[in-house]
Amino acid sequence: MDGMGVRSTIGQVPAPAPDEASRGAGSESGTAGKGPGDPVAARRRAERRAARITSGARELEQRLTDLLRGGLAAAGRSGQGLWEETAARMVDAQAPGLAGRVRELGAIPGSGPGWPVRLLEECALTHLLDRAWLAADRLPAPFATTVRTRVGLPSPVAGAPVRDHWLVLAQYDTGDTRLTTRRAWLYGTTGGRTALVLSYGAAGRAPGLSLPVGAVLDGELTPHAGSGQVRAEPGERFVPVAGPAAPPPGGPVGEALDAYGRALREDPWLDAWPVTLSGVVPARAEYGWQLADADGREALPLTSGARSHPGLWRLVALSGGTPVTVFGECGHRGFTPLAAWSPEAPAETVPLL
């Protein structure tokens, strides 16, 4: 559990971009010659994809059953080959979200002390996602949308656009050999909304959208559907606005953990949740670096990635042993700091990643 009191698998894996396989399904029997806007053809494509995902989910359930029947210790001897084969079948089923979870399962055995516990946790969450997909028609609509997004279907845009002056809190890229995902966190200085904007680039290419950290931009964001979603789609353009902006209102470590716990009720598969800590001090503990409340009441460990990133030393230097405000992602592996503000310069955003 890495010192945390709650467990999920975020940020939360971002909702994937629509895959080319689903776009090309219209050439299958019964829809040939239909335009991409034909509602009957679109419904048939969606039904066929749902059927493939259902078949993949049932196959994955059998794989998990076999694993538990044979014992978790056997997973450490079988290697990743069997998991890769299962992940490939999830890709064939057009369920990239399930495929990603299977690859995570394959990477856990032998990953360090306590790996059987982590494997059991991930198996339980994967089982929960499988069962939720198989019962999606009986779930509340927002949660059903979250489940569909987690298995790999595109996250739909829903709701009215929100116009505000948006402070760019953080921006960073993640990726693999096929896709680069850019994550940008924005905060509405008037409405108080925190939003995640995703953009994608093919392997070796940077995503098209780039937002300067610390800038204040006037524009619209339209939220995506789903329980607890923070993702939003930007409008056609953002216009820079002159003048400083204060950081989002923050709180102590306990409030951040409470916020993450509430978000898990809406989406049990969250990796992390955006929170702002105020009045915290970076401090070294027995197990590594942490952010502690100034009164010493509670502390939040940093993730292993954050502990090895140069941004940690930027944060330590900014603090100098005094309390600072830090924005980042709070998850079961700890806290990843993304931006910070000192009391001496509360309008100056210091990027940490």
pTM for the model stands at: 0.85
| DSSP string for residues in 108-150 | STTSSTTHHHHHHHHHHHHHHHHHHHHTGGGS-HHHHHHHHHH
Angle at 196 between CA 136 and CA 230, to 5 degrees: 40
What are the backbone angles phi and psi of residue 248, rounded to the nearest 5°? -60, 150
Assess whether pLDDT exceeds 60 at residue 33.
no
- 15 secondary structure, DSSP code: P
Band (290; pLDDT cuts 50, 70, 90): very high
Instruction: Give the per-residue pLDDT at 32.
Output: 39
Instruction: Give the per-residue pLDDT at 310.
Output: 94
Instruction: Give the per-residue pLDDT at 223.
Output: 94
Nearest to 311 by CA among 346, 283, 338, 348: 338
Cβ contact 60:126 at 8 Å: yes
Instruction: Give the per-residue pLDDT at 176.
Output: 74
Instruction: Give the per-residue pLDDT at 79.
Output: 66
Higher-confidence position of 287 and 45: 45
Angle at 225 between CA 203 and CA 58, to 5 degrees: 70
Per DSSP, what are the bridge partners of residue 330?
A: 273, 335
**From the CA atom positions of the chain, what is the Rg in Å?**
21
- Can you read off the two tokens belonging to residue 4? 């945390």
Assess whether pLDDT exceeds 70 at residue 108.
yes
Cβ contact 104:9 at 8 Å: yes
Instruction: Give the per-residue pLDDT at 36.
Output: 54
User: Which helix (H) or strand (E) covers residue 350, if one does?
Assistant: strand 345-351
Q: What is the mean pLDDT of the chain?
A: 87
Instruction: Give the per-residue pLDDT at 81.
Output: 76
Assess whether pLDDT exceeds 80 at residue 5.
no
pLDDT in tens, 147-161: 999 999 988 898 899
What average pLDDT does range 225-232 have in this prediction? 87
Assess whether pLDDT exceeds 90 at residue 215.
yes
- 229 secondary structure, DSSP code: -
Number of residues written out for the chain: 353
pLDDT above 70: percentage of residues in the chain: 89
Q: Of the ranges 14-28, 95-109, 260-274, 319-333, which one carries the lowest mean pLDDT score? A: 14-28
pLDDT in tens, 51-100: 999 999 999 999 999 999 988 877 777 667 778 899 999 999 999 999 99
Assess whether pLDDT exceeds 60 at residue 22.
no
What average pLDDT does range 304-308 have in this prediction? 93
Instruction: Give the per-residue pLDDT at 270.
Output: 93
pLDDT in tens, 159-206: 899 999 999 999 999 887 788 999 999 999 999 999 999 999 987 788
Band (3; pLDDT cuts 50, 70, 90): very low
